[in-house]
Structure 1
Amino acid sequence: MAEGNDERSFLAKIDENFLICGICSDRYRSAKCLPCLHTFCEPCLSQLLKKAGKLDCPICRRTCAVPNGGVAALQNNFFVNDLVEQFRLREDGKNEESTKCGGCEENEGDEVRCIECDMNLCSTCARPHRRVPATRSHRLMPLNEYKEAKSTDPTSVTAQKPCDKHPSHPLAYFCVTCDEVICLERTVIDHRAPEHKHQYVKESAKNYVKDLQNLLTKFAEKERDVNESNTA
């Protein structure tokens, strides 16, 4: 019971401290990074630009250049958007509540999980899924292994998203220099080493989670110090 409470407290702190837009005070909707690296909802930034005629960061007040294509062309904050989506799926119970096979929608989907299709499959539908050219490259995991991995290493069972510039290539790398998720092709075109430093997305995500945990620890220590000073 204590572990369950600790997990809920940890998730609540992540939600409150990292997933709330500073403009609308709600969870991010299509989170965008400004050049100053502060993040806000795309709709909020669009309204801000429309109202003021320019884009000043609400936090640091830096005036940010708007790229061609407007606010929609700003860099997506993939990590925040993925976290928001995972929280939404957790709350909706979508990940595991559906017991029907996502292929035939008749049998129980108790055989495997297709990571790319984000659905459970029965043994009958899993066989052609492994053979059809359109899906044979998909990652299929036994359902019990998927559930275990989802609780211990959720990044390992998250579908890779396609690159906006090269849709046939997944976003598998993170350019540390540009703070941007990229595909393999972009690592040799506009994000070449040694000028740019790359990491695998999974490695970068793990580092990001560690940073979140360290920040939450600091928040907890600061909150404890404040409470102790108030009661002294």
Structure 2
Amino acid sequence: MAEPQVLKGLQEELTCSVCLDIYRNPVSLSCGHSFCEECIQGVLRSQHCPRDLFRCPLCSAQEAPPAKLQPNIQLRSVVQKFLDTSEQSVALELKREAECEEKGESSGPRDEEILCDFCLEKPQPAVKTCMNCETSLCQAHLGRHSAKAFLTSHVLVEPCDARVLAERRCSQHGKLLECYCVTDLVCVCLLCCATSSHRSHKIISVEEAFGHGQNDFPKTLQTLKNHEAAVSESLKNLLTQQEKIKALERFHRNHLENFFNMIREQLDRRKVEILGAISDIEKEQLSQIQSQIKEHEEMKDAASRDVRELEALRDQKDPVLFIKGLAAIQARKTEQVPNEDGVELAELLTVMDQSIRETVQELFQPFVQFILAKQPSMESSPAHQHLTFESCEASGLHVDDKVLRVVELPYPFSVPHEMQFWVYSTKGFWNGWHFWEVITRDSSYWKVGVSDRTNFLCYLEMSWCHLRVFLDKRQIKQRSLNTAIRMVRVELDCKRQTVSFLDVSGKDWGSSRSYTPIATVNIPASYPVYAAFSISHGSLSLP
């Protein structure tokens, strides 16, 4: 019976290069190559060539298309015998598998099985490998090997292949690795110990090194596990920092995009306002100039008329008429012509200069803190603080953890600036960057800010539609609003010693997060800093 490898090689020789299958009715071309009859007919139809330009699919040799394909009788016979042999091989293999299943054995050879090198007809599995002879022995041949006195000193190990045998020999001398160099931590042969650089090193036997290794194994394993755990923890921290960096980048990108969008919107709005003011001044000055132009045109007409009359009087020969005409012209009152060499643009330039100055101060100052700040670090991302109100005994106030409400005015509302009571947060801040948000839509007069409760007080005040910023009793900024602010965000940066106020009214309506900077104030370095609140109407609440 043919061996499987022989059948596989023969199958490759009997494969059609067109359909990649065993020849079916093989035919031959004049170049000597053979194909399935059906395959070569398909090639002839696909080429659509004249009769003298047909090419062999395998070697591209040109030849005239054959009038009739000639069968390859001998090749057909070989193919048939191959198919018969293959069927017998398959049947025999199936029979062997069935017998193995009945005996409870595996039909396939074991990949790691080492066979005896001395068995001739049917090799038996090896039970030992002799390192000196470099041969593997079954149980029967092992008995014969051990019975010879001059072979009793040979080293016998578990069955292994040639690769393992090579690893157990010295690469320099080809001898067995019977010793272990403690100094260099390598296995060596006897010649290495006697002649090479290991002569002065500490040498022990491989068996002794094996015993030491067995004793050290648990400790070494635990050390590696601890190292693996430390690396895993470090990797986890790095991944966490990576996510923090990404989150920080998204935060600052969104923050700056919102800021620049607000700058653009406010610049466009202020541009319209300034251009409108310039147009109004232009109209007013043009109106004044038009009236002066009209007066000057009338004066010019009168002067031109006098000149014409006077020139006509030059030819008058009658003394009486000449004197009377000249006296009449001289008697006419000539007004002094005003000096209008240039148009007064001082007012226009003043308006433009003042408007630009106010634009820079009001629009760009709140952004200086964020745009010109140093590059953000991992600690520069503000932490959102969910604050609660501290208990307060002030008359007319109701205070719980999240709501500060006026139930009775403690003094006439006509003097709101004299409010003396403040409610502080229960939490104070010593360092870091923090922010909190306050819902202000239910009050038309409120104060929100920060204080150390003794040395300074910085706050944003809303009085109906007037917005003011104070540091202690000094007003820093003031402007009017068309609509009330519905939510305020306070950002406290203890490192830079600043507090920023932002309008986040859009967030209260469920829209995308949008901030409008109001002001950024430098505060004294006095800690701890608490959030401070005050109202004289309605209520304030913490989300």
What is the TM-score of this pair, normalised by structure 1? Answer: 0.36
Greater C-alpha radius of gyration: 2
User: Which protein is richer in helix relative to its size?
Assistant: 1
What is the TM-score of this pair, normalised by structure 2? Answer: 0.18
User: Which protein is richer in strand relative to its size?
Assistant: 2
Greater relative contact order (Cα 8 A, min sep 6): structure 1 or 2?
Answer: 1
